[in-house]
Chain A
Amino acid sequence: MRKMSSIRQLGTQLALIAVGFFVILPIWGMVRLAFDGSLRGRPTEFRLFPKVWSLEPFLQVLDRPYQTVDFLTLLKNSLLISFGAALIAMVLGMSLAYAFARFRFPGRQTGLFAILLTAVLPPVAFMTPLYILLGLMQIRTTLLGLVIVYAAFAMPFCIWNMRAAFQSVPREVEEAAFLDGANDLKSFLFITLPLALPSVAIAGLIAFLMAYSEFALGWLFVDKADNVTLAMSIYAIVQTQYSSGAQPWSSLGSLAIIMSIPVVIIFLIFQRTLLDRMMFGSIHE
């Protein structure tokens, strides 16, 4: 094995540093805002570092980030909606995913195509009809309504990924269970599902993240401040900021950081699996 020449090493590192700078730059912009205790409205002068280092923006955001709603309500709404949507999408989609993973039946190809197609639609494609349908059912502005919207949006993707999860469990394991007298349901519940659980959980995680970071559909459906989620409040801060400048931009920064940290950690832990899932299983080795 030949080692790299030091000039080549240097060039490589320089290029990587340049890209690293590009990656960090916008993040640093947010950090600089988030820790600046001196901002009362928009930033008015160029600074690489906060003028006054302070945790005040974080404390303020943790107390009352958006209008009269406190942080805990926002967090509660976010978690409730995201968990609810992920759970519905997983539980209701699971049996379909298993059927597509294990059995042959007429219409299978068409079904797979339909699932893949619905998985790549933009959220807006579901928004129009759901807005009207949920309005007809008079639950459009409730949290339940949002849960349904996000579940509808996440379900095809969940089904596609759970199918891959079930497929990766070897059939032989199931067949062994059949020999011991288990039926389909039993072998699914006690053999396949536990074995596939980590991958199924990842599918749910992606559904969770979709709902967690969505704001546009949220703002269309919800009209009460009590039902706002974290992501929605970030967008609202920018919106009100753009027109009035009523709120310090620091809260935008701190809220964005608070919101992203858990997601970033999740991504760092599961990066390989997430990558495979987000590519619809095509990187699978």
Chain B
Amino acid sequence: MNKSARTLLYFLVVLLAVGIAYNFRSHAAKTLSIDFDEDDYLRAGQEFAHLIRTSDWRGFLDTNYRPEHPPLAKIIVGLSILSAPEKPLVPDAATTAEPNRYLPRDLVRPARTLNTIFGTLTVLLLALVNPLAGVFLAFHTFTIKYVSQIMLEAFPALTSFLMALTYLQWKKAKSSRVNAWLMASAVFLGLTAASKYLYGVVAIAILVDWYLDAKEETSTRVFLRNTVLWGLLGVVVFFALNPYLWPDPIGRIRESVFYHAGYAASAAEVEDASFPAWQPFYWLFFSPYWWHEGVFPFPFDLIITLFALVGLKRLWTKERLYVLWLSIAMLFLLVWPTKWPQYILVLTVPLSLAAAEGVLVIWQEVLAWWRTPKFRTIYKRKEKLRALPWLVPGLIAFTLLTLIPLIFQIGMSMTDFNTASLRDGFNGGLSRAILGGMAGEQPPQDFDINARSNRVNFTGLNSYPPVMDFLARSGIIFFNVMWTVLSVLLQCALGLGIALLLWQRGVRLGKFWQALFILPWAVPELIGAQMWLNIFITDWGWLDLAAAKYGAESVFGIISQGLADSPSLWLLAFLVPALWYGFPLMMFAASAGLKLIPQDVFDASAMDGASAWQTFRHVTLPLLMPLLIPALIVRGIFAFNQFYLFQAFFYQDATLATLSYNIFNPNSGFGGVSGGQFAVSAVINVITVIILMVFVLLFNRWTGAGKGVTYA
């Protein structure tokens, strides 16, 4: 593609992103129902509008309704409703109150419109940086929702992005001098902080990035001077735009900070929501699509997040700051006790950038695969003939036992087969529906998860969207992914740690320990699960019995309480058994790998004066990776398919495998979708097979497993 065509395409995509963004946001602003907090911020805006109308500038010193947030974003709400007719103040209500559905529409409309403009501007800026990322942000439904309502997100989301952009401009100049870009960045820091504190995490990311640069190049003194100047200017702007602080700066800052601490710890709505620690991750996989019918076109968020996971590494090499921003913000949200969905807007900008990189990564992989010259292997006729008698019997058996069931499953997934239509299905209904449907004799019917026809009908691919919708809405895919990542990481850490301990020279009893640590791996998973059930089961497990004996104040009592009450700690009752069961394999893989590393390598690194950590990080770990990665993937597959552990604990919808089993089993049931839904289970299984295909591709790519493929 030549240069001008490229530029044209670039601007077209930017235009497209802005068009989509404005369209979706203004549509959402028109159709979204009034949400929590909107009444509060509208009231705050009304107060400021009144002050401006009456030119009561002194009033700014003492006006800040909902003082936990600084006033600037609320003043902007006030500015947006200046031209609207003045209405009586929205009544003051507790934060626990239901959203006020009767807000004056003449005020809601301009306030929301101004926010959508900020939201669209953010998309425009992002699209100029990376057009594809702009398109992603335009589609991100949580972002659409919260920049289209009277929330405090739209403005600081824009200014925090501007703060990062201007900082990057300054960085590009590669000069340690303070220039206009850096000043602008500091001003945006002030604007951001004066609108909503949360968005200040972007500043932390900037400081980390700055520090990493400074460590390599300039001296610490210059770094300190610049950052202090930047921070001071930011504080000055923050203070200047925050008249509410002027009369009593310390006291009022303290008031708002303590409000947040207290709010997170004790507010009724925070406790009622009882979100687990990982809820921010869950939001990234979820979408408000299911909350508001007809507002959003499609729950894109999940797809964007998945692309972002793929693209993180590439984004890091391109611009480290965005990855720092994403991870620091995520870390903060994980630690922060309040977990409202609007908080994730602090990171949707870098998320979209990572997603755009992810698309490029995948695109390049496909392109590389496409372009690799495909050797037309010349098969010798004689060899083919020789292979034939071996292939035929084996293929027949493999087809009968393995392939036919799987193919039949695909057929079943295109029907509405369930317990009610069992009789019809067994009397020829299944083949009638599947074969007839495939041949086009029956048009595919609509599929409804909850309906049970007593006749098998062909539904074609119509059965997939409702089941996928159900999976995405129930959060099971998110949990399955999180479970896989967490359990494998823990297993890898412990396994690698023990392998390193045992690998030291002169460790006593090494053989004994190794033999002991095999045990969990050797015990069948079912029995291992029972062993842990015997510890964690409520009331008569060891833990609860110990708690009963030693009292609620004892260690046991505290752990038992924690597992029972906390919205996130219960996961430990599964992670601990999974760690127990899985670490031996990782330990063995790591041990096998460590033995293969020649001693000279370590002598060389010792000679160069490397510290223990440096040796591990730059010598041991890279050499271990070829063996660790297959073990990681195998454990990952196990964890992804984890079934017996959850089934033993009666947790019926943890992974796709358990869900599929319990939806299929005519004697059990799950949630709204009770048991005996054969077709639904078949659809889930087909989806599982597709996901595992990706695992196997990765496995083939990163291991020598496929290398025997060319010739034995």
Chain A residues in contact with chain B, CB under 8 A? Answer: 1-4, 8-9, 12-13, 15-16, 19-20, 22-27, 29-30, 33, 42-46, 88, 92-99, 101-106, 108-109, 112-118, 120-133, 135-136, 148, 151-152, 155-156, 159, 164, 166-167, 171, 184-185, 209, 212-216, 220, 231, 234-235, 238, 242, 249, 252-253, 256, 259-260, 263-264, 266-268, 271, 275, 278-285
In the bound assembly, the distance between CA atoms of A155 and B395 in angstroms comes to 12
Which residues from B are CB-within-8-Å of A27?
519, 523, 531
Contact B524 A16 (CB under 8 A): no
Contact A45 B545 (CB under 8 A): yes
Contact A129 B408 (CB under 8 A): yes
Given contacts A19-B498, A23-B519, A30-B534, contact A4 B504 (CB under 8 A): yes
For B405, B532, B693, the residue with the greatest tally of chain A CB atoms inside 10 Å of its CB is B405
In the bound assembly, the distance between CA atoms of A30 and B529 in angstroms comes to 11
Binds A, one of B13-21, B76-84, B150-158, B507-515: B507-515
Given contacts A171-B712, A268-B515, contact A9 B534 (CB under 8 A): no
Given contacts A4-B505, A127-B664, A209-B524, contact A46 B377 (CB under 8 A): no
Digitize B81-122: 1 where CB-to-A-CB distance is under 8 Å, 0 elsewhere: 000000000000000000000000000000000000000000
Given contacts A96-B397, A283-B630, contact A275 B534 (CB under 8 A): no
User: What's the nearest-Cβ distance from chain A to residue B519, in Å?
Assistant: 6
Instruction: Given A29-B534, A105-B379, A113-B696, output 12 extra A-B contacts at Cβ < 8 Å.
Output: A23-B519, A92-B394, A96-B391, A96-B395, A99-B387, A124-B681, A124-B685, A152-B405, A209-B524, A213-B526, A259-B527, A283-B631
Q: Which of A42, A96, A128, A249 contacts B682 (CB 8 A)?
A: A128
Contact A109 B709 (CB under 8 A): yes
For B387, B525, B704, the residue with the greatest tally of chain A CB atoms inside 10 Å of its CB is B387
User: What's the nearest-Cβ distance from chain A to residue B534, in Å?
Assistant: 5
Contact B696 A117 (CB under 8 A): yes
- Asked if B309 is at the interface (CB within 8 A of a chain A CB), the reply is no
Which residues from A are CB-within-8-Å of B509?
13, 16
Which residues from B are CB-within-8-Å of A115?
398
Which residues from A are CB-within-8-Å of B532?
26
- Which single residue of chain B is at the shortest CB-CB distance from A280? B705
Contact B696 A102 (CB under 8 A): no
In the bound assembly, the distance between CA atoms of A97 and B706 in angstroms comes to 15
In the bound assembly, the distance between CA atoms of A155 and B534 in angstroms comes to 33
Give the number of residue pairs across the A-B interface with Cβ within 8 Å: 317
Contact A264 B522 (CB under 8 A): yes
Q: Which of B393, B406, B523, B592 contacts A129 (CB 8 A)?
A: B406
Which residues from B are CB-within-8-Å of A16?
498, 501-502, 509, 513
- Asked if B588 is at the interface (CB within 8 A of a chain A CB), the reply is yes
Contact A46 B545 (CB under 8 A): yes
Given contacts A133-B405, A213-B524, contact A155 B398 (CB under 8 A): yes
- Which single residue of chain B is at the shortest CB-CB distance from A123? B643
Q: Which of B398, B521, B545, B577 contacts A44 (CB 8 A)?
A: B545
Which residues from A are CB-within-8-Å of B706?
112
Nearest 4 interchain pairs by C-beta? A96-B394, A213-B524, A267-B522, A92-B397
In the bound assembly, the distance between CA atoms of A253 and B527 in angstroms comes to 9
Digitize B668-690: 1 where CB-to-A-CB distance is under 8 Å, 0 elsewhere: 00000000001001100100110
User: What's the nearest-Cβ distance from chain B to residue A124, in Å?
Assistant: 5
- Which single residue of chain B is at the shortest CB-CB distance from A94? B394
In the bound assembly, the distance between CA atoms of A123 and B412 in angstroms comes to 17
Contact B404 A26 (CB under 8 A): no
Given contacts A99-B391, A133-B408, contact A155 B524 (CB under 8 A): no
In the bound assembly, the distance between CA atoms of A153 and B355 in angstroms comes to 37
In the bound assembly, the distance between CA atoms of A130 and B519 in angstroms comes to 33
Contact B681 A128 (CB under 8 A): yes
Given contacts A95-B391, A101-B712, A120-B692, contact A267 B426 (CB under 8 A): no
Which residues from B are CB-within-8-Å of A113?
696, 700
Q: Which of A120, A127, A242, A279 contacts B661 (CB 8 A)?
A: A127
- Asked if B367 is at the interface (CB within 8 A of a chain A CB), the reply is no
- Which single residue of chain A is at the shortest CB-CB distance from B380? A104
Q: Which of B504, B545, B681, B704 contacts A12 (CB 8 A)?
A: B504
**Interface size classification for chain B:** 35 or more
Q: Which of B412, B516, B643, B695 contacts A124 (CB 8 A)?
A: B643
Which residues from B are CB-within-8-Å of A33?
534
Which residues from A are CB-within-8-Å of B394?
92-99, 159
Which residues from A are CB-within-8-Å of B550?
46
Question: Can you pick out 21 interface pairs between chain A and chain B where the beta carbons lie within 8 Å of each other?
Answer: A9-B507, A12-B501, A16-B513, A20-B513, A24-B519, A30-B531, A93-B397, A96-B394, A102-B712, A117-B692, A120-B692, A124-B664, A127-B664, A155-B397, A213-B524, A256-B527, A259-B524, A264-B523, A271-B588, A279-B589, A280-B630
- Which single residue of chain B is at the shortest CB-CB distance from A120? B637
Which residues from A are CB-within-8-Å of B530?
30, 234, 238, 252, 256
User: What's the nearest-Cβ distance from chain B to residue A23, in Å?
Assistant: 6
Contact A124 B526 (CB under 8 A): no
For A16, A42, A125, A266, the residue with the greatest tally of chain B CB atoms inside 10 Å of its CB is A125
Chain B residues in contact with chain A, CB under 8 A? Answer: 377, 379-380, 383-384, 386-387, 389-391, 393-395, 397-398, 401-406, 408-409, 412, 417, 425-426, 430, 494, 498, 501-502, 504-509, 513, 515-528, 530-535, 540, 542, 545-546, 548-550, 577, 580, 585, 588-589, 592, 596, 627, 630-631, 634, 637, 641, 643-644, 647-648, 650, 657, 660-661, 664-665, 678, 681-682, 685, 688-689, 692-693, 695-696, 699-700, 703-706, 708-709, 711-712
Q: Which of B379, B380, B540, B664 contacts A43 (CB 8 A)?
A: B540
- Which single residue of chain B is at the shortest CB-CB distance from A235? B526
Q: Which of A103, A124, A215 contacts B386 (CB 8 A)?
A: A103
Contact A285 B596 (CB under 8 A): yes
Contact A155 B545 (CB under 8 A): no
In the bound assembly, the distance between CA atoms of A107 and B401 in angstroms comes to 20
Contact B430 A132 (CB under 8 A): yes
- Which single residue of chain A is at the shortest CB-CB distance from B398? A96
Which residues from A are CB-within-8-Å of B548?
45-46
Q: Which of A13, A109, A130 contacts B508 (CB 8 A)?
A: A13
Contact A128 B678 (CB under 8 A): yes
Contact B524 A267 (CB under 8 A): no
Which residues from B are CB-within-8-Å of A109?
709
Contact B685 A104 (CB under 8 A): no
Which residues from B are CB-within-8-Å of A280?
630, 634, 699, 703, 705
User: What's the nearest-Cβ distance from chain B to residue A255, in Å?
Assistant: 9
Contact A129 B519 (CB under 8 A): no
Q: Which of B404, B682, B711 contacts A104 (CB 8 A)?
A: B711
User: What's the nearest-Cβ distance from chain B to residue A82, in Å?
Assistant: 12
User: What's the nearest-Cβ distance from chain B to residue A262, in Å?
Assistant: 10
Given contacts A92-B397, A128-B660, A216-B643, contact A283 B592 (CB under 8 A): yes
- Which single residue of chain A is at the shortest CB-CB distance from B637? A120
- Which single residue of chain A is at the shortest CB-CB distance from B643? A122
In the bound assembly, the distance between CA atoms of A60 and B501 in angstroms comes to 43
In the bound assembly, the distance between CA atoms of A120 and B694 in angstroms comes to 11
Given contacts A104-B377, A128-B682, contact A260 B523 (CB under 8 A): yes
User: What's the nearest-Cβ distance from chain B to residue A158, in Å?
Assistant: 10
User: What's the nearest-Cβ distance from chain B to residue A236, in Å?
Assistant: 12
Contact A125 B426 (CB under 8 A): no
Given contacts A103-B383, A104-B377, A256-B530, contact A278 B585 (CB under 8 A): yes
- Which single residue of chain A is at the shortest CB-CB distance from B661? A124
In the bound assembly, the distance between CA atoms of A45 and B404 in angstroms comes to 52
- Which single residue of chain A is at the shortest CB-CB distance from B591? A275
Q: Which of A2, A103, A128 contacts B412 (CB 8 A)?
A: A128
User: What's the nearest-Cβ distance from chain B to residue A231, in Å?
Assistant: 6
- Which single residue of chain A is at the shortest CB-CB distance from B685? A125
User: What's the nearest-Cβ distance from chain B to residue A74, in Å?
Assistant: 14
Which residues from B are CB-within-8-Å of A98?
390, 394
User: What's the nearest-Cβ distance from chain A to residue B370, in Å?
Assistant: 16
In the bound assembly, the distance between CA atoms of A146 and B380 in angstroms comes to 42
Q: Which of B379, B596, B678 contacts A132 (CB 8 A)?
A: B678
